[in-house]
Amino acid sequence: MRILLTGASGFIGRNLNAALIAAGHEVIAASRSTGVDFRQMLTVNDWLPHLSGIDAVINSVGIIGECGSQRFDVLHTHAPAALFRACEQAGVRRVLQISALGADASAFSPYHLSKKAADDCLRSLDLDWFVLRPSLIYGRGGGSAELFMRLAALPMIPVIGDGQQKLQPVHIGDVVATALHALVAPESRQTLDIVGTETISFADWLKKMREVQGRRPTPLLRVPFGIAMACARLGRYFHPILQPDNLRMLKAGYWADPAPVEKFLGRPLQCSAPPLFFADATTFGSAS
């Protein structure tokens, strides 16, 4: 297949790109460095020239925090919606949208709401669509995964409150494998939560990340939620993930049943064995 991959330079996009090529697909990689800036791709006509000869589209563009003209509504909603409508017009039937766990009826943050608006648009169109909603993704080269690795390596491990917020981390290889299968699966028009099989607290996840780095156990530094929020207001100037809304989302916690995605893939998802923390999707073997 000839696939237009947006966000091809990102963590998910890079892994998708490599796995798609390894599986024999031709990838047209789109990102700002190849001249495709979502802030300027807001109409169907902007997208149509990019869809000539394309068999499928995967959208993996996204931001975790707003900065300058990088806004959630533009990047997560308006540009993808224009892309999806252009696909309908151009007859590119297979469209995969990388959304996020929590972009559902419970969404309250601008991040999730802007993702959900694009997902809703895609679901309303006459296309063979998939909305893929990963939980926290780990593996080599992930922005949030690397930040958490650094936190886990500190002399004391900082957690928010009691650190008992629930996570279902999923390996990048499982996310990529799901996307590869969604490209060819006959049963389209599905929304799939891609979540790991282990439910683990934020504190235990950071302890595990410390252990896989070969470091000795160390005590937790429990940061009250109010103080963490104040730090996030400053921290957002240093790392995009350090946003008050991201702490609120962590606190809210999201959970989904891994059984549907396992059934879709026809195999169990990976448990978080130490080598996976340093592996990308192709090392892991994601071809489906």
Give residues in contact with ligand NAP (CB under 6 A).
7, 9-13, 31-33, 36-39, 60-64, 70, 75, 98, 100, 134, 136-137, 142-144
Residues 6+ apart with CB under 8 A from 237: none
Q: Are 181 and 126 in contact (CB under 8 A)?
A: no
Task: Name the residue nearer to ligand NAP (CB basis): 222 or 256.
Answer: 256
Q: Are 29 and 16 in contact (CB under 8 A)?
A: no
Task: Name the residue nearer to ligand NAP (CB basis): 11 or 129.
Answer: 11
Element (H, E) at 166: strand 166-167
Tell me which residue has its CB nearest to ligand NAP.
62
Cross-strand partners of 138: 171
Task: Name the residue nearer to ligand NAP (CB basis): 122 or 222.
Answer: 122
Residue found by looking up tokens 């959630």 in the block: 72
Least distance (Å) between residue 146 CB and ligand NAP: 10
Q: Is 55 exposed, middle or buried (0-12, 13-18, 19+ CB in 10 A)?
A: middle
Least distance (Å) between residue 35 CB and ligand NAP: 10
Closest by Cα among 199, 201, 203 to 156: 203
Task: Name the residue nearer to ligand NAP (CB basis): 136 or 203.
Answer: 136
Task: Name the residue nearer to ligand NAP (CB basis): 48 or 222.
Answer: 48
The first and second tokens of residue 194, run together, are 């891609």
Please tell me the distance from the alpha carbon of residue 246 to that of residue 14, in angstroms, as a whole number: 24
Task: Name the residue nearer to ligand NAP (CB basis): 21 or 222.
Answer: 21
Least distance (Å) between residue 84 CB and ligand NAP: 15
Least distance (Å) between residue 31 CB and ligand NAP: 4
Please tell me the distance from the alpha carbon of residue 178 to that of residue 171, in angstroms, as a whole number: 11
Residue found by looking up tokens 């300058």 in the block: 68
Least distance (Å) between residue 10 CB and ligand NAP: 2
Least distance (Å) between residue 205 CB and ligand NAP: 12
Q: Are 162 and 122 in contact (CB under 8 A)?
A: no
Least distance (Å) between residue 155 CB and ligand NAP: 26
Cross-strand partners of 129: 95
Centre a 10 Å sphere on the Cβ of residue 26 and count the other Cβ atoms it contains: 12
Task: Name the residue nearer to ligand NAP (CB basis): 32 or 267.
Answer: 32
